[in-house]
Amino acid sequence: LKAASNIDSQEGNGRFKQILHRLLSDLFKAIDDLDITPDEVWAGINYLNKLGRDGEAALLAAGLGLEKYLDVRMDAEDKQLGLEGGTPRTIEGPLYVAGAPVKEGVSKMDLDPDENAGPLVIHGTVLDLDGKPVEGAVVECWHANSKGFYSHFDPTGEQTDFNLRGAVRTGADGKYEFRTLMPVGYGCPPEGATQTLLDELGRHGNRPAHVHFFVTSDSHRKLTTQFNIEGDPLIWDDFAYATREDLIPPVTQKTGGKELGLKADSYQDIEFDFVLTPLVEGKDNQIVQRLRAAA
Ligand code: MBD
Ligand code: FE
């Protein structure tokens, strides 16, 4: 283990060697303790190749609760810092695409027609911990269509760039609004490596209908969150464990959609405020580096 991780040398990256030494040690120990056979080890190696070919490592991280675990740790860190009262974080997931055009106050996100999705307006105010509106915040929003597919990752190839992806900058009133269509829950690709693993566990690979957000502001920490669509039967059975009590806003039925440029007069409405937390010693400690798609 020491030789493989070159742990006693000055060469290489010390932090990387420390982590690799520990993970390899834990793996060898598991092989001993559970008497993991060569066939089982090679099945695991082959699985990793398939996982990479499918581009699903980040999807599996969500499904195994690894991404949620990082949230649990960040929640604990915030609690220690006394940083409570903001909108709860929840996982980013693997399907964000950078570069959606930033609009002032309001963004119409549905670029492609979707017969099976009704109009949805999502709106609210970005606030600080004192309840004051935050001006100049950018709210980014992304979600699936009526088939549970996200643009850029849609296996049917039917969606254009940035369909159901939007970004809005708030004015002095802190308000944001997205005019869009009601999403449907996501399911893992049935032939993909993630679903193969979940099948072996006897688990499903589905998420309830949900909408993702990043909220950024120069004067506050970045918020990564989602809300679920009230009433979805999978709300408390999300394969990625992202559901939280405070992230299930009520959905109300409204009329007047035609004046808003919606495809029907009757539409569904979700009001959801974002409460941002202050910088920590002048810094945003919520910026997570990970590979993200861009278009
Ligand atoms: C999603 O839409 C998602 O949000 C997560 C976390 C995993 C898979 C698909
Ligand atoms: Fe999602």
pLDDT tens digits, 53-66: 999 999 999 999 99
pLDDT category of residue 167 using cuts at 50, 70 and 90? very high
**27 three-class SS:** helix
pLDDT recorded at residue 28: 98
Question: Does residue 93 have its Cβ closer than 6 Å to ligand 1?
Answer: yes
> Nearest 5°: phi and psi at 145?
-90, -165
Name residues whose C-beta falls within 8 Å of residue 61's C-beta, 6 or more positions apart in sequence. 67, 94
Mean pLDDT, rounded, for 196-224: 98
Identify the residue whose C-alpha is closest to ligand 1 atom 7: 93
- Gap from CA of 37 to ligand 1 centroid (Å): 33
Residue 143 to residue 99: CA distance in whole angstroms: 15
Distance set, CA 255 to CA 108, 268, 279 (Å): 17, 9, 40
Name the band, by pLDDT with cuts 50, 70 and 90, for residue 279.
very high
Rounded CA-CA distance 100/103 in Å is 9
Over range 195-216, report the average pLDDT: 99
CA 47 to chain centre: 24
Query: Is the CB of 198 within 6 Å of ligand 1?
Result: no
278 pLDDT tier (thresholds 50, 70, 90): very high
Residue 56: per-residue pLDDT: 98
Residue among 127, 135, 133 at smallest CA distance from 104: 135
* CA–CA gap between residue 26 and residue 235 (Å, rounded): 34
Ligand 1 centroid, distance to 236 Cα (angstroms): 15
For the segment 105-128, the average pLDDT, to the nearest whole number, is 98
| Residues 181, 143: Cα–Cα separation, whole Å | 9
Phi then psi for 164, rounded to 5 degrees? 65, 30
Q: How far is the CA of 228 from the centre of ligand 2 (A)?
A: 10
What mean pLDDT do residues 248-268 have?
98
For atom 5 of ligand 1, the residue with the nearest CA is 93
Claim: this prediction has a pTM higher than 0.85: yes
pLDDT band at 270 (very low <50, low <70, confident <90, very high): very high
The whole-number pLDDT of residue 204 equals: 98
Pocket flag, ligand 1, residue 207 (CB < 6 Å): yes
Which residues are paired to 22 by β-bridges?
A: none
Per-residue pLDDT tens digits for 70-97: 999 999 999 999 999 999 999 999 999 9
**Ligand 1 atom closest to residue 239's alpha carbon, by position in its atom list:** 7
Mean pLDDT of the chain, nearest integer:
98
Ligand 1 centroid from CA 94, angstroms: 6
Sign of CA dihedral 152, 158, 162, 166: negative
Ligand 1 atom 4, closest CA: 93
How far, rounded to the nearest angstrom, does the alpha carbon of residue 130 sit from its chain's CA centroid? Answer: 27
The reported pLDDT for the residue numbered 3 is 98
**C-alpha to C-alpha distance for 277 and 266, rounded to whole angstroms:** 36
pLDDT at 89: 98
Task: Measure the CA–CA gap between 9 and 118, rounded to whole angstroms.
Answer: 61
Taking residue 180's Cβ as centre, other Cβ atoms within 10 Å add up to: 26
How large is the average pLDDT for residues 262-279? 98
Say what the pLDDT of residue 22 is.
98
